[in-house]
Structure 1
Amino acid sequence: MCFISFIFLLTISMFLFYSSVYLMYLDSCYFIEWEVVNLNSSSIVMTFLFDWMSLLFMSFVLLISSLVIYYSSEYMSNDYNINRFIMLVLMFVLSMMLLIISPNLISILLGWDGLGLVSYCLVIYFQNVKSFNAGMLTALSNRIGDVALLLAIAWMLNYGGWNYIFYLEIMKMDFEMRVICGLVVLAAMTKSAQIPFSSWLPAAMAAPTPVSALVHSSTLVTAGVYLLIRFNILMDKTLFASILLLVSGLTMFMSGLGANFEFDLKKIIALSTLSQLGLMMSTLSMGYADLAFFHLLTHALFKALLFMCAGAIIHNMQNSQDLRYMGNLGVHMPLTVTCLNVANLALCGMPFLAGFYSKDLILEIVMMSYINFFIFFLFFFSTGLTVCYSFRLVYYSLTGDLNLSSMHYLSDEGWVMLRGMLGLMMMSIVGGGMLGWLMFNTPSCIVLSSMLKNLTLFVCILGAFVGYLISNVSLYFSNKSMISYFFSSFVGMMWFMPYISTYGIIYGPLSSGGFSNKSLDQGWSEYFGGQMIYWMLVDFSKSYQMFQNNNLKFYLMTFVLWVLVFILLSLLI
């Protein structure tokens, strides 16, 4: 089933890519309307939008998912339920397809909720307590965005239909459309894990590694970015754009800082995804939707490759994800580590790899834009942090000695996994240049001073140097004082956001519920309610039982009492 799915998805991906290039050449798009049901002159119509953007994104999603499924055939080979796993992944991809080609809020909600539901099933795939907690955090965080989208659907009724693509340009100054814009921004922030909804993204690492490769590259987390790309006309120079710029900049900064204090391999790559999502969102909020889409596609290639390499390393390390146990992996796993390094360099923006074309362009456009110094600082400092944690990851995995057991069997994984990784590695090398030539067909000249031109390079070199220093001294500093311990735990715990998202929200209701249960349900209401009635009934039944005993004196006494009652009544009358 894995091989059939791989061939099928890869074939469709190639067809969609050529179709996208053809539509880009013609500068046209197609609307396809399918009448699902027609009842008493009321018809339910499903609308699909096929333009160069939706077809290109779908081709990338299908390419990555085909290689991930091919990779999974060996990675998950010991799993008895591998066919169920493949079916879940295919449902996940299908939900993303529906979301991409929908110009209608109702069909977008179908894909959006499909992503949320299937992601929950995939996060809890390894059925243990940690997975269940992560699944609940993921599902409930995303429910906020689902509710925002439902409210946007309700507000869209003001225009008599849900095909938002017809109304965006004409009605963008309306109050109703502004409300819809705010709700869509909220929905996108939850799905793309911006502050304060960031805690679910590292928690979703409980899913199998192939799922992480798919989720973090081109499906779940990019749904919010893609939705905002479609709605970017509404955001132009509004308050929502300014708020999103600040929030996404802080998300980029927070996750980049947190990744430098993390020792879990998968969590570092997850925080890296969060940082890149912040970069896409902030680019979007500045009005550069094409640039954000460009970075979305290039990022998908090397991020999927990073997770696949991490999965191969974790397999070999006897399911250990701790960086401190790794070392000298280049000797034992040369091909896997080569792919890891190519993906890492693409993430850092190494010239002529995929990430360079999008990140360098974004940073140069930022330098030309009308923004304040704080946002400028967040952009460039976060870029430096990206290089910093990437260098730290390479330092721990390649240098020094292996800290695992001396009885180990480290080698490159089987050729099925390696072929999947090598396919994505080729795309990580050539994908950025190819997309740049396709999407930006008009050459644009960015004129900056030599100082600003070299600023990106300087920040990257400085970040690599700081990453080297952190790798050597982070363990030394972490135990020296309470202040450094607090700082490292505060930064490493994403500014305590996981605690705020879980204990911070649930502690109040749970403690008040426990108090009311103790003082009311099992306290005063029990004392005056059930228990008091019970003891009163017991006392009455005991008294009644005494009268029921065949005692002559009781009968005589009751007879005398009745006689007295009759005498009193006769006297009163």
Structure 2
Amino acid sequence: MNFSLFIASSFILLLMSLSFLFLGSLLLFKGTVIFLELHLLNYNSLDLVMIFLLDWMSNLFMGVVCLISSMVVFYSNSYMSKDVNKNRFLILVILFVLSMMLMIVSPNMISILLGWDGLGLISYLLVTYYQNEKSFNAGMLTIMSNRIGDAAILMCIAWMLNFGSWNFYFYLNYVKYDDFGGLMIMLVILAGMTKSAQIPFCSWLPAAMAAPTPVSALVHSSTLVTAGVYLLIRFQPLFMGTSASICLMFIGMITMFISGLGANFEFDLKKIIALSTLSQLGLMMMILGAGFEILAFFHLLSHAFFKSLLFLCAGILIHSFKDIQDIRMMGNIIKFMPLTSTFFNVSNLALCGLPFLTGFYSKDLILEMVFLTNLNMISLFLCFVSTGFTVCYSVRVMYWSFFSEVNMTSLINIHDEDWIMSKSMLTLFFMSIFGGSSLMWAMMPTNEMVYLPYYLKILVLYLILGGIIIGILINYLYMWIKFSSKFELINFMGSIWFMPFISTYGMNSLFLNLGLNVKKNLDYGWSENLLVYNIQNSLNYLISYFQLMHKNFIKIYLLIFVMWIMCLIFMMNM
């Protein structure tokens, strides 16, 4: 295998993306849904059928996934060029994308589980790609958190036996009014929360940054973390109008708040972008719980473009700075890397929701629709302050990395990367500018005016300005914050409210101590005394007895032979 395979794989994924986007647009305009049934096995009464659901939503999502994957694979042609295991990396990325596509097109719980488990397993292999202790710990935290959602999907599969089929698409309205339908609603929401890293399962998302940067771009934009949101969008008729949707909305708000707050006190570049992903996932969950599933899907697609571009730019910065990820060690990059700086800042502004970039179309509409829901003041405060935090940490990253004084060593040679990386980012750059408007015109062809008072309409712009001011103040007050007596509070807010420590030490110590006690009392205790020693003593006694008999005496062998002959004669005469 050589590097031409990266380019060939990228080209194939790009062709698949264009075909899926064309088919999705066609189905959207015609209002058509395609059910594709493949008969795999037909034996007597057994009929094994594989069903694919091809509607506009699944096709658009697969088109976006394939487009971002093709750019990431093309980018990896240069990024992973010096890596020893680059072939294994390419195979894992392709399997990762195929697992996501299987999950997207499945209206069946069994095939959803296949794609769901494929995502979890391959994400573990990708997080532990760089084989060191930190990667192994991060991979174990990732896969163990996701196993909770896998168990919930398995329980849903067992419960759907009551309906005679695992095709949930036909039974959503029946399950809602079933006596135990609330159980299935809770299981589906639990599965979506674990895969999309909502609180209290949010600690694995920053830990998954141990993976290579192209994998992070793929995971955090359109594949692993968005699978939970997409699953809940599919199951949205099941829990709409119930108390579960209200719980989901508040969980999304709290996740937005703590991740946005934590990103303002983080200095690892990849972890800041990961926490911004967590904040945007909370926004999707919040608006999905409020009942606007099309808006959640719209933000899911638009967020994928600029978030993948952010990670690819971060990968170039980490390469240029010889694997340094601390933003305090960068500075004034805009003079050395103008092209990468342009890409990074435009994607960052799209994340903030700057007017007429991709993020603006979905984010502004979501914040305006929040005013139309029946929310209290605390919920509105959490929602809009979390949006202000997004601008705040974006300005902070831009200041420390691009506009502050030079803080790097003089030995580092900083320059824009080669044409392969630049071309892959150029496509995502244009999608970060024009993707939101294109999706808006396609998914919402008719203008629906949201009538609000002037001060509420202009509130989003005030949030952006307020976030810029607070971000600048945090930059200037950094040394005071660092050496102040309130450093414990800053540490608490910056570490996602100690959620990583609770989900690792707090959860693991209980089970590890329980396992240690079981091992001491059973393996090394009663079971060893009752089973091992007794069996060993009995076998020793029998062996010593037989050894006594077989001391090579000919009369003993002849006696045994005669006894066998007598036994055979006796058996034949019966």
Task: Give TM-score scaled by structure 2 length.
Answer: 0.90
Match for 2:512 among 510, 513, 519? 510
Q: Distance in 1 between matches of 2:136 and 2:105?
A: 32
Query: Which residue does 1:459 correspond to in 2?
Result: 463
Query: Which residue does 1:135 correspond to in 2?
Result: 139
1:334–1:412 contact (8 Å) kept in structure 2: yes
Q: Distance in 2 between matches of 1:186 and 1:266?
A: 27
Q: How many residues align?
A: 532
Displacement after TM superposition at 1:358 (Å):
0.2
Query: Which residue does 1:42 correspond to in 2?
Result: 46
Pick closer, same or farther for the CA change 1:528–1:429 going to 2, 3 Å: closer
1:145–1:190 contact (8 Å) kept in structure 2: yes
Q: Distance in 2 between matches of 1:154 and 1:344?
A: 44
Query: Which residue does 1:487 correspond to in 2?
Result: 489
Pick closer, same or farther for the CA change 1:78–1:519 going to 2, 3 Å: same
Match for 1:107 among 104, 111, 124? 111
Q: Distance in 2 between matches of 1:347 and 1:337?
A: 15
State the Cα deviation string for residues 275-329 of structure 1 (Å, max 9, x = none). Answer: 0000000110000000000000000000000000000000000100001001000
Q: Distance in 2 between matches of 1:228 and 1:291?
A: 13
Query: Which residue does 2:568 correspond to in 1?
Result: none
Q: Distance in 1 between matches of 2:69 and 2:270?
A: 19
Query: Which residue does 1:564 correspond to in 2?
Result: none
Query: Which residue does 1:299 correspond to in 2?
Result: 303
Pick closer, same or farther for the CA change 1:385–1:41 going to 2, 3 Å: same
Displacement after TM superposition at 1:528 (Å):
12
Pick closer, same or farther for the CA change 1:442–1:471 going to 2, 3 Å: same
Query: Which residue does 1:496 correspond to in 2?
Result: 498
Query: Which residue does 1:287 correspond to in 2?
Result: 291
Q: Distance in 2 between matches of 1:202 and 1:112?
A: 20
- 3-state SS in 2 of match to 1:446: coil
Q: Distance in 2 between matches of 1:400 and 1:356?
A: 27
Please list every run of 5 or more consecutive structure 2 residues that lacks an aligned counterpart in the other structure.
Answer: 537-574
Q: Distance in 1 between matches of 2:331 and 2:423?
A: 24
- Kindly report which structure 2 residues correspond to 1:1-150, keeping only aligned pairs within 5 A, or say none: 1-150=5-154
1:89–1:211 contact (8 Å) kept in structure 2: yes
Pick closer, same or farther for the CA change 1:100–1:528 going to 2, 3 Å: closer
Is 1:440 aligned to residue 462 of structure 2? no
Amino acid in the other structure paired with 1:379: C
Is 1:167 aligned to residue 171 of structure 2? yes
- Kindly report which structure 2 residues correspond to 1:70-469, keeping only aligned pairs within 5 A, or say none: 70-469=74-473
Pick closer, same or farther for the CA change 1:78–1:372 going to 2, 3 Å: same
State the Cα deviation string for residues 146-196 of structure 1 (Å, max 9, x = none). Answer: 000000011111110011111113442222333212111000000000011
Displacement after TM superposition at 1:111 (Å):
0.4
Q: Distance in 2 between matches of 1:109 and 1:520?
A: 36
Amino acid in the other structure paired with 2:491: S
Displacement after TM superposition at 1:80 (Å):
2.1
Q: Distance in 2 between matches of 1:523 and 1:26?
A: 70
- 3-state SS in 1 of match to 2:448: coil
- 3-state SS in 2 of match to 1:189: helix
1:155–1:176 contact (8 Å) kept in structure 2: no
Displacement after TM superposition at 1:46 (Å):
0.6
Query: Which residue does 1:560 correspond to in 2?
Result: none
Q: Distance in 2 between matches of 1:382 and 1:174?
A: 37
- The more displaced of 272-281 and 178-187 is 178-187
Pick closer, same or farther for the CA change 1:32–1:392 going to 2, 3 Å: same
Q: Distance in 2 between matches of 1:414 and 1:467?
A: 33
1:158–1:176 contact (8 Å) kept in structure 2: no
Q: Distance in 1 between matches of 2:138 and 2:179?
A: 38
Which ranges of 4 or more aligned residues in structure 1 deviate by more than 2 Å? 169-172, 175-178, 508-531
Give the percent of matched residue pairs that are identical in Structure 1 and Structure 2: 56
1:255–1:494 contact (8 Å) kept in structure 2: yes
Larger Rg: 1
Q: Distance in 2 between matches of 1:7 and 1:510?
A: 48
Amino acid in the other structure paired with 1:505: M
State the Cα deviation string for residues 383-409 of structure 1 (Å, max 9, x = none). Answer: 000000000000101122221111220
Amino acid in the other structure paired with 2:504: T
Please list every run of 5 or more consecutive structure 1 residues that lacks an aligned counterpart in the other structure.
Answer: 535-573
- 3-state SS in 1 of match to 2:49: strand
Displacement after TM superposition at 1:264 (Å):
0.1
- The more displaced of 262-271 and 230-239 is 230-239
Q: C-alpha root-mean-square deviation of aligned residues, in Å?
A: 2.0
Q: Distance in 2 between matches of 1:461 and 1:447?
A: 23
Query: Which residue does 1:553 correspond to in 2?
Result: none
Amino acid in the other structure paired with 1:226: Y
Pick closer, same or farther for the CA change 1:69–1:521 going to 2, 3 Å: closer
Displacement after TM superposition at 1:515 (Å):
6.0
Query: Which residue does 2:556 correspond to in 1?
Result: none
Pick closer, same or farther for the CA change 1:478–1:530 going to 2, 3 Å: same
- 3-state SS in 1 of match to 2:198: coil
